[in-house]
Chains A and B, each alone.
Chain A
Amino acid sequence: MYTFIARRLLSTIPVLLIVAVLVFLMLRLTPGDPAAILAGDAASAEQIAAIRASLGLDRSILVQFGIWASNLLQGDFGSSYFYKTQVTQLIAQRIEPTLSLAALTLLIAVLVSIPLGVVAAWRFGGWFDRALMGFSVLGFSVPVFVLAYLLIWIVSLKLGWFPVQGYKRLAEGFWPFLHHLILPAITLSVIYIALIARVTRASVLDALGEDYIRTARAKGLPEARVLVRHALANAAVPIATVIGIGVALLIGGVVVTESVYAIPGLGRLTVDAVLARDFPTVQAVILLFSFAYVLVNLLVDLSYVVFDPRIRY
């Protein structure tokens, strides 16, 4: 088991290396000169050239990559071209909002979708099942920002239950933190509820067709116990898989949600950095996201062991 983990972690290194090279190349090949942006509107060509040199952008790509990679190995992610702060500091400031949003979204999604999926499978073919299937397709057909505006209009402006925007750090109090985060999390969770509910329904349906369910019912176990301890438990593997996939897709949704709700997180940081051609920041954040994705995959695979004793590593 531990060798499995060690092997998996080791195999992430070539993947991350490839990510690093890909991202580095893509950025250097973009039109758009960070030096010109930094210099401002009324700058002259010489000023821009001087800034380029000071950023090290006038050297060859190989040299630039070499410098960046060697710094990386020493833990130095470089400093942002724009904010004159260490990239690690920038990321540290922005990671709390993104992580909180992602965590709350997943929590809501899992808590809502799994019961929905179980009930739909239990009452297969009934109105609840059809309603859920209908809703779920709708759920991942509407873009996140349209949903966000709708929700803001109804819940925040008309009803006044939640603020329209903003993020309060946990340090400023748990209730303000939660209050500002609920609406964004609900907005983002819709698509995951749709996704996870479907898979839950499908896997539980599968499990319900198995012999051991008939046995359990014949033994006279209460239906709830049959559903949860037997059907759901056996359906856990595909559900865990889709949650893992969902986390990977979460980043995309987070970018838009942060944009609409003015949450100063990593998603917005990356978009702004790409637009500003802030190479060090983009490189670092994408590496971070990729590492997180790989880590989540590993955790999902490990969770299989918990859910399915037959699986051994």
Chain B
Amino acid sequence: MNRKIVAAVLLAATATAAFTAAAQEKVLRVVPHSNLSILDPIWTTQFMARNHGYMIYDTLFGTDEKSRVQPQMVDKWTVSPDQRLWTFTLRDGLEFHDGKPVTGEDVAASIARWGKRDAMGQKLMTFVERMDSPAPNTFRIFLREACGIMLEALGKPSSNVPFIMPKRVADTPADKQIEEHIGSGPYIFKREDFKPGDKAVYVKNAKYQPRKEAASGTAGGKRVYVDRVEWNLALRDGQAQVNALAKGEIDVLERPAFESYEQLRKADGVVLVNKDPLGFQYMGRFNHLHPPFNNAKIRQAAIAAMQQEPFLRAQVGIKEFYKPCASMFTCGTPYGSAKGSEIQSKSTMRKAQELLKASGYDGTPVVILKPTDLAAIQKLPDVAAQLLRQAGFKVDLQAMDWNTVVSRRAKKEAPAQGGWNIFLTAWLAPDVWNPLTNAAIGAAGEKSWFGWPTDEQIEKLRDQFARETDEAKKKALAEAIQVRAFEVGTHAPLGEYVNPLATRKNVTGWVIGSGDVYWNVKKN
């Protein structure tokens, strides 16, 4: 009888211990800003794929919160005196999730694959003669000529990020998606638990060796303090997201809709964290191939009409979250000067109306693409339509879902045949903060980003920028590029804003910097 009681008590104790142990597993429940469908961050530039990449991969370099490039997987590196040979030595203890060590060959293959897809990477590759790995922990790049963007490219925080994958995965042709998802990053992807449209699960990589420095941006030590991170991909209704966070059914709301902030501020136990002070930039893009925006004067009139304040006020609404920025590059970063922006920043509606009249505008309607299902940029086209109409343009605002917008903007046909004149979008600050990553500044005609502006001068200056290694000269070049871009009217920058995330009070440790990263986060 006694023995039975003891056994029962022991059993109960073990059961409770196991129960509490399981219950003490820290799970971070995140609602990301969109659905995760593509798991290959090199094949696509989608932000969700990039964020997935940050969970499970590591990078050679990172960018800290002051926009400086810092080594991550790299321990030290040297540059030859003629600047044509870069030698990188990897840190000790870097291992993939299957236990194999990270070698220079993996790095070479990964960089090569990234260099085929990413715009800045492609630019970099034009300088590269070859890459090799003389020793397992060494990686070398041989250049044809000196290049000023090596570190910026290798450390770029946003799409496409040069994540390091095992050689066998990185050897997948760049136009096919990878099948295996093994990296060397701070989290491990649980493929079996991934349910598309439902949830994605990442568990802590206990073997990951973080750097000693504090985490900052995508650089520094990536320490993990939770056991699991679950991405809730099913919760897409804005009100339901707010309710779920308020009730504690989720921990983190990655990018709340601006209309939600009032309720979030009032909710018990919820706190707003502005972890990305550089934020985002809105942009309005013209189609340079067809009337009326094949005429530079008309483009200038449109830019003059599209003042930044109305867009920001309508879309963001909360004064502390937005500011106009008279630069095509991010204000507060090295190249964010206001030179040449007077056409927009010092303009009035009257001026815009005069410019339009003087340009010989003949009344061709302007087709603006309006996405109906993307709350983040939904209001911009309406503001654009209203402002352009006030300036004297005829506007045809066409609504469709975002996927149709994405397909239509790729079409080079005339607007009446399924093309477009204007679309609006948003970029992360690192995507636009220098003349090489900023897709809208590229002016190589049909080879450039949607909109296809053509201007030899801009392209020459961009080329020089890529070669220049002196920081002061790079700044001057960037200014010259911007002046020319405003003259040509490549696009209209529409202001900057932040989108603070909303979390439960017991979640802390947010890393300041661009992008959405989940290391260093604690759940108390």
Contact = CB atoms under 8 A, between A and B. Distances in A.
Interface in A255-285: 259-264, 268-269, 272, 275-277
Contacts of A164: 240, 243-244, 247, 249
A50 B38 contact: no
A38 interface: yes
B44 A40 contact: yes
B274 interface: no
A160 B412 CA distance: 54
Given A31-B407, A42-B159, A272 B35 contact: yes
Given A47-B175, A259-B236, A275-B403, A165 B249 contact: yes
A3 interface: no
A96 to B, nearest CB: 11
Contacts of A290: none
Given A50-B175, A84-B39, A262 B235 contact: yes
Nearest to A89: B196
Nearest to A85: B196
B404 A261 contact: no
A94 interface: yes
A166 B234 CA distance: 8
Given A32-B404, A47-B117, A164-B244, 13 more contacts: A36-B407, A41-B46, A45-B410, A163-B249, A164-B249, A165-B237, A165-B243, A259-B236, A262-B235, A262-B240, A264-B199, A264-B233, A275-B373
Contacts of B60: none
Contacts of B345: none
Contacts of A264: 195, 197-199, 233-234
Contacts of B413: none
Counting from the closest, the 3 A-B pairs by CB-CB distance are A264-B198, A40-B45, A83-B196
B403 A42 contact: no
Interface stretch (A18-26, A60-68, A149-157, A235-243): A149-157
A51 B40 CA distance: 14
B135 interface: no
A261 B425 CA distance: 29
22 contacts: A31-B418, A32-B401, A36-B406, A38-B44, A40-B44, A41-B406, A47-B175, A54-B176, A84-B39, A90-B196, A157-B247, A165-B243, A165-B249, A166-B234, A166-B235, A166-B249, A259-B236, A262-B237, A264-B197, A264-B198, A275-B402, A277-B403
A252 B400 CA distance: 22
Interface of A: 31-33, 36-45, 47-48, 50-51, 54, 80, 82-85, 90, 93-94, 149, 152, 156-157, 160, 163-167, 259-264, 268-269, 272, 275-277
Interface string B235-269: 11101100110110100000000000000000000
A227 B450 CA distance: 71
Contact of B175 (A33, A51, A93, A260): A51
A149 B239 contact: yes
Contacts of B237: 165, 259-260, 262
A167 to B, nearest CB: 7
Contacts of B117: 47
Contacts of B197: 83, 90, 94, 264, 268-269, 272
Interface residues of B, number: 49
B268 to A, nearest CB: 12
Interface in B19-68: 35, 37-39, 44-46, 49
Interface of B: 35, 37-39, 44-46, 49, 117, 119, 159, 175-177, 195-199, 232-237, 239-240, 243-244, 246-247, 249, 373, 400-404, 406-408, 410, 412, 418, 425, 439, 446-447, 449
Contacts of A90: 196-197
Contacts of B246: 157
A33 B506 CA distance: 43
A83 B176 contact: no
Contacts of B49: 40
A260 B237 CA distance: 6
A37 B175 contact: no
Given A43-B45, A260-B240, A165 B407 contact: no
Nearest to B437: A42
A167 B197 CA distance: 13
Interface centre among A42, A84, A269 (most CB of B within 10 A): A42
Instruction: Give the interface centre of A43, A149, A164, A263 by most chain B CB atoms within 10 Å.
Output: A164
Contact of B408 (A31, A157, A167, A269): A31
A192 B446 CA distance: 56
A40 B46 contact: yes
A37 B407 contact: yes
A36 to B, nearest CB: 4
Contacts of B418: 31
Contacts of A263: 234
A36 B45 CA distance: 12
